[in-house]
A and B are shown apart, each in its own frame.
Chain A
């Protein structure tokens, strides 16, 4: 069973700082890994999907890296803004399964 760990569990930074969110997973046999954002009381918004053959994926201020062999992914958010405050979840997609396994998330607060 895939186990996913996200560190730190919570993070509070002043506006403008760069954010580094870590995700580790136990089973490296994955097709891809998705990063999601979840606002309080809301569903999941997909931010980035990085394929197992890729080492990184970028979208605007967001950059996700993937080291499949070591079971790690990192989400970088540059020049954070108060609107980035949310919980960020990672979900590796196993190559022999269709369901996603999620970490508990990192809750980010960006202070104005």
Chain B
């Protein structure tokens, strides 16, 4: 079936605007992850969902970042009052089972956010 998809692929926002980034994981995958990748760096963990439950949000950089997965499938990462330091690629990944790095993670193409 289809892999992980993300939309939009590119987003340009003016400083102070709110943005919403969408992730469609592989159908049936229990686990969903969001990562942030700054230019020239590796991805950094933001948050983890097991089905609809957000079990870990320790990587969210501020309370302006909010993520949800209300029905245990599609997830949305929302950033309020965007700042220039939020400019990055936001990657979504899913894995079949719950709660272990033993399970291979499959990544989407990412959303490149540029805040002017």
Contact = CB atoms under 8 A, between A and B. Distances in A.
Interface of A: 4, 30-32, 34, 36, 41-46, 49, 89, 91, 93-95, 97-105
Nearest to A36: B107
A91 B102 CA distance: 12
Interface residues of B, number: 28
Contact of B104 (A30, A34, A102): A34
What 10 pairs across the A-B complex have the smallest Cβ distances? A93-B101, A102-B42, A43-B109, A44-B107, A99-B45, A31-B102, A43-B110, A43-B107, A104-B42, A102-B43
Given A98-B99, A103-B42, A49 B104 contact: yes
Contacts of B94: none
Nearest to B59: A99
Contact of B48 (A41, A45, A98): A98
